[in-house]
Amino acid sequence: MRAALGVASECAPLVKTGGLADVVGALPAALAPEGWQLRTLLPGYRQVIAALGPAPAVLAQADLFGGPGRVLAGRAGGLDLLVLDAPHLYDRAGTPYLDLAGHDWPDNPERFAALAWMAARIASEGTEGWKPEVLHLHDWQAGLAPVYLSARGDAVASVLTIHNIAFHGLAPADRLWRLRLPPEGFTPDGFEYYGHISALKAGLVQATRLSTVSPTYARELATPAFGMGLEGVIRSRAGDLVGILNGIDTTLWDPAADPHVLPFRSAAGKALNRARLIAEFGLGPGEGPVCVVVSRLSDQKGLDLLLQAAPALTDRGGRLALLGSGDRALENAWLKAADTSDRIGVRIGFDEALAHRMFAGGDAVLVPSRFEPCGLTQLYGLRYGAVPVVALTGGLADTVIAANDAALAAGVATGLQFWPLTVEALAAALLRLCELHADRGLWTRMQRNAMRHPVGWAASAAAYARLYESAVAAQ
């Protein structure tokens, strides 16, 4: 087996705020059949240290950005982990990024610089005879690792995967010294971004290879509309960037063996889960499709548009169950919508088991994102026969076969796509959804297609293995 080290701020099932965690948690098992042993370096948040239990320290650093740190080696959640135990950085109540009041931790730049720093040390020194050939870095939290590696004079191959280019990991310029960054890198060709330090840009410029989580997002990233100010850097590295679609863990997400749901193998078997979902959300009667949304409530996800377009669904007997959390104003707006319509049910919070029940019970899953690097909930929807209704962007464009006339004639449609990102276009898609749902034969065919669509990791794991190999060869 060849050795690689994944470096990330989240990893399911231990710590999760979004899809990044699912992907980081799934990659090791996906890559093993490709001949790669992928260990994962994570920050030692409270729940990660607790899940790890007693574990030996394999590397220590007396002064890790304001206190001592050590790397613990062990297993938890079915994963082979290296955990950065540094209580001054990670032993706190809150999420990986926010305090209990919902504000960014002021020392986030140092917290994740420390992660990148230790990744670079492991890559160049190894731990107890184990040394990765390649670092697989995820998002800005790991972006500084190639800078630290080259500052050490070490050439270890690295792959940076962009899960979301909206988050740059910015720090004020006067933190340069505290972040132990080489001042000569603070230029527009390096990690400087409009007078700030950008951890993401550092990785984009210096990693051996780049990837993102869908082919369409890889193309979108090179445009001003999606590149979030980094489109120039992306274009300069176009030859080193590939889009590799996310898969899902088809063992954890298996409708026939999911402990959170009443197991089912075909669309017909969804009926009991549907009834249970309607009861759980207290939805009133209606003949139309039962739609679900499981999402972070942030501007990215377009759920403000859905709020306005929802009458197109509910006026036709459709119903909507939403599970999400995030933006307070959006949370309140959705709670208010649920108060005013008995065809809308809302749960604010993060609830993994409920998410499973929703995909199992829903006829359709709605994903009206303004941008979506890949998106996982449409994949869960496909697997569980909840037909995806998605915006035509990013990975949503790459994973759903839209029910246009050609796809319907060929009998291959798996969902609906809409564009542009307007209330009108979304409302039209919801109207179309109601029409398709009313045609029982057609609807059952679409559900069956959806459930058969391959959503596992096999093809993408092979693509990652090739990417690792090309990074090693290029270094």
Contact criterion met (CB below 8 Å) for 150 and 120: no
DSSP 97-166: SB-TTSPBPTTHHHHHHHHHHHHHHHHHH-BTTB--SEEEEETGGGTTHHHHHHHTT---EEEEEES-TT
Map the footprint of ligand GLC across residues 160-179, applying CB under 6 A: 163-164
Q: Based on the shown chain and the rule CB under 6 A, indicate whether residue 15 belongs to the binding site for ligand ADP.
A: no
Considering the complex, what minimum distance in angstroms separates the CB of residue 163 from ligand ADP? Answer: 7
Q: Based on the shown chain and the rule CB under 6 A, indicate whether residue 327 belongs to the binding site for ligand GLC.
A: no
Q: Based on the shown chain and the rule CB under 6 A, indicate whether residue 18 belongs to the binding site for ligand GLC.
A: yes
Contact criterion met (CB below 8 Å) for 165 and 374: no
Residue 379, classed as helix, strand or coil, is helix
Q: Based on the shown chain and the rule CB under 6 A, indicate whether residue 247 belongs to the binding site for ligand GLC.
A: no
Q: What residue 206 binds from ligand ADP, ligand GLC, none (CB within 5 to 8 A, per partner kind)?
A: none
Residue type, 165: I
Number of residues that bind ligand ADP (CB under 6 A): 18
Contact criterion met (CB below 8 Å) for 397 and 375: no
Total length of the chain:
475
The residue within the footprint of ligand ADP, chosen from 325, 341, 444, 470 (CB under 6 A), is 325
Q: Which is nearer to ligand ADP, 159 or 390 (CB)?
A: 390
Considering the complex, what minimum distance in angstroms separates the CB of residue 273 from ligand ADP? Answer: 16
Considering the complex, what minimum distance in angstroms separates the CB of residue 23 from ligand GLC? Answer: 5
Nearest to 117 by CA among 58, 170, 64: 64
Q: What residue 306 binds from ligand GLC, ligand ADP, none (CB within 5 to 8 A, per partner kind)?
A: none
Distances (CA, A) of 11 to 80, 96, 99, 135, 467: 12, 11, 19, 16, 21
Q: What residue 324 binds from ligand GLC, ligand ADP, none (CB within 5 to 8 A, per partner kind)?
A: ligand ADP
Tokens of 347: 């749960």
Q: Based on the shown chain and the rule CB under 6 A, indicate whether residue 96 belongs to the binding site for ligand GLC.
A: no
Map the footprint of ligand ADP across residues 368-397, applying CB under 6 A: 374-377
The residue within the footprint of ligand GLC, chosen from 23, 116, 344, 400 (CB under 6 A), is 23
Q: Based on the shown chain and the rule CB under 6 A, indicate whether residue 13 belongs to the binding site for ligand ADP.
A: no
Q: How much is the CA Rg of the chain, to the nearest whole Å? A: 23
Contact criterion met (CB below 8 Å) for 240 and 204: no
Long-range interactions of 61-67: CB distance < 8 A, separation 24+:
61/117, 61/118, 61/121, 64/89, 64/114, 64/117, 64/118, 65/89, 65/110, 65/111, 65/113, 65/114, 65/117, 65/178, 65/179, 65/180, 66/107, 66/110
Other Cβ atoms less than 10 A from the Cβ of 54: the count is 6
The residue within the footprint of ligand ADP, chosen from 350, 408, 421, 431 (CB under 6 A), is 350
Q: Which is nearer to ligand GLC, 52 or 135 (CB)?
A: 135
Tokens of 309: 């377009």
Q: Based on the shown chain and the rule CB under 6 A, indicate whether residue 376 belongs to the binding site for ligand GLC.
A: yes
Tokens of 352: 């993994």
The residue within the footprint of ligand GLC, chosen from 122, 213, 261, 346 (CB under 6 A), is 213
Q: Which is nearer to ligand ADP, 292 or 471 (CB)?
A: 292
Q: Based on the shown chain and the rule CB under 6 A, indicate whether residue 169 belongs to the binding site for ligand ADP.
A: no
- Rounded Cα distance between 166 and 154, Å, is 30
The residue within the footprint of ligand GLC, chosen from 6, 132, 288, 373 (CB under 6 A), is 373
Considering the complex, what minimum distance in angstroms separates the CB of residue 134 from ligand ADP? Answer: 24
What number of helices (H) and strands (E) belong to the chain? 20, 18
Position closest to ligand ADP via CB:
19
Considering the complex, what minimum distance in angstroms separates the CB of residue 374 from ligand GLC? Answer: 4
Q: Which is nearer to ligand ADP, 190 or 302 (CB)?
A: 302
Q: Which residues bind ligand GLC (CB under 6 A)?
A: 18-20, 23, 163-164, 213, 246, 372-376, 395
